[in-house]
Chain A
Amino acid sequence: MTQLGFWIALIATVVFAGCARTPWNDPYPASDRAANILYTAFQERPKHLDPAVSYSSNEVILTGQIYEPPLQYSYLARPYRLEPLTAERVPRPHYLDRQGRPLPSDAPDAQVAYSVYYIHIKPGIRYQPHPAFARDAAGHFLYQHLTPAQLARIHRLSDFPETGTKELTAADYVYEIKRLASPTLDSPILGLMSQHIVGLAQYAKRLAAAYARAPHAFLDLRRYPLTGAKTIDRYTYRIELYGKYPQFKYWLAMPFFAPVPWAVDHFYAQPGMANRNLTLDWFPVGTGPYMLTVNDPNRRMVLVRNPNFHWETYPIQGAPGDAKAGLLKDAGRRLPFVDKVVFSLEKEQIPYWNKFLQGYYDASGIGPDNFDQAIRVGANGEAGLTPAMRKRGIRLQKSVQTSIMYMGFNMLDPVVGGYSQRARDLRQAISIAINYEAYIAIFLNGRGIPAQGPIPPGIFGHVSGPQGIDPYVYDWADGRAQRKPIAEARRLLAEAGYPGGRDAKTGKPLLLYLDTVATGPSDAARLDWLRAQFRKLDIQLVVRATDYNRFQDKMRKGHDQIFEWGWNADYPDPENFLFLLYGPNREVGKNGENAANYENPEYDRLFEAMRDMDDTPARQAIIDRMVRIAQRDAPWVWGFYPVQYTLYHSWYHNAKLNLMANNTLKYLRIDPRARERARDRWNRPRIWPLGVLAGLLVAGILPVAVSYRRKERRVARPSEREGQA
């Protein structure tokens, strides 16, 4: 009887729970249900959160919210525009000649030996609470001289009972610039910045020597002055560069140039801290709107509102159309809006997408596999949401990314490389044959724009319309760019000496090699497609898939032939794309980013002229000439510019894609009540199949039980036992 009671109770619980409104599949604690929390995910554990080191996009999404460099990109304005963040204003360079005498701002490039930036920061900005700043009543640091006994009780940062704060000063910015040269940090931009910041290269050598003398001592960078970065007063510092480098201002909006106070560096450098995973790489300290409170790279990271965050308000003005899109509703209100941001580890796209549909993530991209579920392309080719998405109140935003995905030829290769007419013909023929329109349709569901040159839309120098097309690959007809027919490619191939894909002299079939790191299952389909493109010219494409290390090694040594590569803009300037084809920047021998090892003296000369110009029609003219040269030489099959589609739930406000800014979380606002209601509505568990399952189980047990009874009775009789043995 008691057993029966137990079962009744169990069933009642299950049924009751089934009727209850709270979903079973909520991956978050019940206590957070109605909280003002933004939910998002990270795919790979960030490796570095130290501003001098972190570079990848998955790290910047965190460091961008925590650290504040002097400048930021305006959230709403387009084209992208810099605005002051902690600085009073965007600095203008002062030019000096070789002797250090000031020059007028329109001085010719040849005379400019140095440019100097004076950066004034706003007073009164304070850091997040942190034990590194904690002081006792007498004003002495509490945790800057930790003894092993003190450390014994410390396992997490929160184990330090006291925290403190400090005002942001110019010295903190200078300290960080010096950290770029630190021998223990390996900053990825040290090589590049050494070419620009005065004395940084020598500084790195000095630090390395000092480090070699005393490897275990704390390297106090305050004691080593750097010519190129100096403190002028408490709120002003100056940066001195070699020659002109107009792109430098963009670097001032990246976390590399965020402030790091000496106290923080020293705090983490104490012995025993690193053994506890307490490093600046894992627990950043900044003045930004959020601070990192939980850093469990195996599971989740949590950003919590910084109580000391300075006064900053939502922008009052936006780009045209922003007001209509509801982006100015919060104009003038204090930032940030969201109390807490939770990043959960989500390695796979499928669970992310499904959790998004269940309301457990607030925004999502669209994978190729979910595309048809989310997007319906209308009669005029315009992509819109499916009714199912619209019913859930989901909104869609599209934006062309400032990136390019291309296929490069190694210009040092004897077959596809070189600058003879023959080699050019071959490359142009291939450029025509690879139908990127089809590629975009099949593999990207139309989320891409076939590229005509190295510069994506949204960057100065990009030309659209009939003037912008690559005349060697496309024709302008019927008001749109049309890929040249395959017959044209075959003709070019014949002229290149390979009629019908065979060497005209020997008759040997032409074999080309593609080097790629793509080895996943979806890549197989893609590579198959690519082989088919080459087969249109009767060229056999052999795919050499390798791991990433080997691929890089091959690229560095120039052992590659055709490769797939991409580039993401560091800043919105054409220089950041055109330098990918600049000869002195080639990969082989120079370790540069010019992976195709393209080298054209005319192009290089124009590049040097264009590099330091402002965005004027003259600059446009030079860029046009450069692009035309590259189109003719065809060192890349231009590939495509990806277009990003992002979906937002109805409770997610102020979302505007900003591909340059990385500190955008502070502008976002969510409506937790609406979210809670939607989650409850969308996630009612379906229980009846469990009942069916239980029924089946009983149905399965019943005959077993019956036959058990029967057998048991039979066994008891000895005559049959004989028969069994």
Chain B
Amino acid sequence: MPLSFSFWGHAWSVEWVVLWTDALLYVLIVAAVLLALYIRRHPPLQRPWSRVVRSPMAMGAAVILAAYAAIGLLDSVHVRLPIAPVKGSTVRYYSPELLSVFDLIAGPLRTHTEYSYSAPFATRLYTQETVRLPDGQTRREYPRLKYGGAGLKSAAELGGDVCARVARALAEAGAAWLVAAAALTWRLARRHRCAVWQMALRCLRGDTQVPWRTIGLTFGVVLALGWSAGALCTHYHILGTDEVGRDVFYLSLKSVRTGLVIGTVTTLVMLPFALALGISAGYFRGWVDDVVQYVYTTLNSIPGVLLIAAAVLILQSYMDRHAGLYDTVAARADMRLLFLCLILGITSWTGLCRLLRGETLKLCEADYIQAARAFGVGHGRIITRHILPNVMHIVLISVVLDFSSLVLAEAVLSYVGVGVDPSTISWGNMINSARLEMARQPAVWWPLASAFIFMFALVLSANLFADVVREALDPRTKGRGGER
């Protein structure tokens, strides 16, 4: 739908496009917010979560996850820009090229493409090119980059310029951090009815229930890194460029969305199946149980890669037959991403389903459910009122635990050739091409290193977060909360 707004001094009229994965991400956020509100209202449910909130490890990880989520979400609002109308025509056409809000913000990062590889902070290309001199002679040399360090007169200025920019960025980031920290302390002080300086002291000592010191520290680090990167990336390729000269920093950031979508949407699409089948198998037993067990044993026994490969091939042949439905590259790539999520969901729901079935079987033996049954309470009511809330912790644990393994699975699938669309920017695709790049002499190491760092930071924080969530939510571990 067309929208009009003003951005960077231009009045822009853009067409808002909602891709399937965008929509599902929005749904996911709404669901998460609703769930959070629900949990807030019910103190018994809130108790384990307050343990999570008090864990410095979890909150540090959460800050990093939030940074990733912010990038991913900005990258999930898609628009089409208008193209200048033809003289005499009043119809407005929009470019078929789909851009996200993140692309618009990262503007120069996306458009500053070089000829080919260049190392991080390089001012010259990594490979030699044949240059034709004015006198008709040709020479092989490392040409200057079009954008990387374009403002510099000579390479000698590089160090000084980078230091100056970083210093300024750090100062700005520090100021921003101080403002944010001051605002927060003020609010906390008001809530705890104490003086601001006392509150600040408590935060610094780490003497608060919510680990504000860790949060502030992580936030500060993220802010400093982000701010410096932002200040540098418009003048340098801080992580180099890839084979066709795209900025690797930009690619790494764009991959965040792909990783998040695979990690979250997959669980979203598999959840209804796992819940419905797992609970009904455990609750109704008999033939329902047999059928459900049959279905998941059958699905489980098929090697997952094959199932995914076949599904991806099916999707491709479908899209080829209905080429008109997917008129942009992005729409096609998105469809494939969604399909990959679906099929990954199908191959991974069996585990959760089995857990839910077992838990439901156990719950059904409980007195209060037996009693509810004896009183003739309807099945639907028993399931929604008594069983569902009591298996929710299993669902949440498996969601957070699955996230990181799904992000890792994407890379492997891309290697096998049944992953996301090759035009989709993802860590898997980056690692995949890095295999060839590492074999060069001298090796092109920065795309692999960037993908590795970005992926590692995400997966590590997700794992750490998941760890705390599991310890807090799993009733079995309650007895030894302090074990760590």
A residues with CB within 8 A of B = 349-350, 353-354, 367, 369-370, 372-373, 376-381, 441-442, 446, 478, 499-500, 502, 504, 506-509, 511, 513, 518-529, 540, 542-547, 550, 554
Contact = CB atoms under 8 A, between A and B. Distances in A.
Given A521-B429, A522-B243, A554-B320, A369 B436 contact: yes
Contacts of B155: none
Contact of A546 (B93, B137, B320): B320
B422 A511 contact: no
Contact of B86 (A507, A513, A518): A507
11 contacts: A369-B436, A369-B439, A370-B439, A442-B115, A478-B136, A500-B86, A507-B86, A521-B433, A524-B422, A524-B423, A525-B243
Contacts of A544: 320, 323, 332
Nearest to B117: A372
Nearest to A531: B329
B298 interface: no
B338 to A, nearest CB: 17
A434 to B, nearest CB: 15
A308 to B, nearest CB: 43
A368 to B, nearest CB: 8
Given A353-B439, A509-B96, A550-B320, A542 B329 contact: yes
Contacts of A349: 436, 439
> Closest 9 CB pairs between A and B?
A373-B441, A521-B433, A350-B439, A507-B86, A524-B422, A507-B89, A521-B432, A525-B244, A525-B243
Nearest to B88: A507
A554 B127 CA distance: 39
B130 A381 contact: yes
Contacts of B316: 545-547, 550
B320 A542 contact: no
A379 B422 contact: no
A547 B243 contact: no
B398 interface: no
B175 to A, nearest CB: 39
Contact of A370 (B244, B435, B440): B440
Contacts of A546: 316-317, 320
B126 to A, nearest CB: 9
Contacts of B243: 522, 525
A522 B436 contact: yes
B439 A354 contact: yes
Contacts of B304: none
B441 A372 contact: yes
- Most B C-beta atoms less than 10 A away, residue of A354, A376, A550: A550
Interface of B: 83, 85-86, 89, 91, 93, 95-97, 115-116, 127-130, 136-140, 242-244, 246, 313, 316-317, 320, 323, 327-329, 332, 414, 417, 421-423, 429, 432-433, 435-437, 439-441
Nearest to A542: B329
- Most A C-beta atoms less than 10 A away, residue of B83, B95, B242: B83
Contacts of B417: 519-520
Contact of A522 (B97, B140, B433): B433
B49 to A, nearest CB: 28
Contact of A513 (B91, B139, B323): B323
Given A380-B137, A528-B246, 14 more contacts: A350-B436, A350-B439, A369-B439, A369-B440, A381-B138, A499-B86, A502-B86, A509-B93, A522-B243, A528-B244, A542-B327, A544-B320, A545-B421, A547-B313
Nearest to B313: A547
B247 to A, nearest CB: 13
Contacts of B139: 379
Given A370-B440, A441-B130, A525-B243, A508 B93 contact: yes
A542 B328 contact: yes
B437 A369 contact: yes
A649 B414 CA distance: 36
A550 B314 CA distance: 11
A381 B116 CA distance: 19
A418 B417 CA distance: 37
- Most B C-beta atoms less than 10 A away, residue of A521, A528, A542: A521
B156 to A, nearest CB: 25
Nearest to A541: B329
A446 B128 CA distance: 12
Contacts of B332: 544
A591 to B, nearest CB: 20
Contacts of B323: 513, 544
B91 to A, nearest CB: 6
Contacts of B138: 379-381
A544 B116 CA distance: 24
B140 A377 contact: yes
A519 B96 CA distance: 22
A9 to B, nearest CB: 37
A369 B86 CA distance: 45
B88 to A, nearest CB: 9
Contacts of A446: 130
Contact of A377 (B93, B128, B432, B436): B128
Given A369-B437, A507-B89, A522-B433, A376 B96 contact: no
Contacts of B246: 528
B482 to A, nearest CB: 12
A537 B130 CA distance: 26
Contacts of A350: 435-436, 439
A542 B89 CA distance: 25
Contacts of A527: 422-423
A543 B417 CA distance: 17
B94 to A, nearest CB: 9
B257 to A, nearest CB: 17
B83 A519 contact: no
Contacts of B95: 509, 540
Contacts of A520: 417, 422
Nearest to A515: B320
A446 B130 CA distance: 9
A367 B423 CA distance: 23
A543 B320 CA distance: 11
Given A377-B130, A525-B244, A511 B327 contact: yes
B335 to A, nearest CB: 13
A545 B317 contact: no
Contacts of A377: 128, 130, 140
Contacts of A504: 86
B440 A442 contact: no
A378 B246 CA distance: 28
A504 B87 CA distance: 10
Contact of A540 (B86, B97, B130): B97
A507 B93 contact: yes
A441 to B, nearest CB: 7
B242 A525 contact: yes
A523 B136 CA distance: 34
Nearest to B437: A369
A367 B97 CA distance: 33
Nearest to B115: A442
B96 A540 contact: yes
A353 B435 CA distance: 13
A262 to B, nearest CB: 43
A550 B317 contact: yes
B118 to A, nearest CB: 14
Nearest to A519: B422
Contacts of B313: 547
A513 B328 CA distance: 10
B96 A511 contact: yes
Nearest to B336: A545
A701 B423 CA distance: 47
Contacts of B422: 518-521, 523-524, 527, 545
Contact of A543 (B115, B128, B423): B423
Contacts of B89: 506-507
A483 B89 CA distance: 34
A305 B354 CA distance: 61
Contacts of B423: 524, 527-528, 543
A351 to B, nearest CB: 9
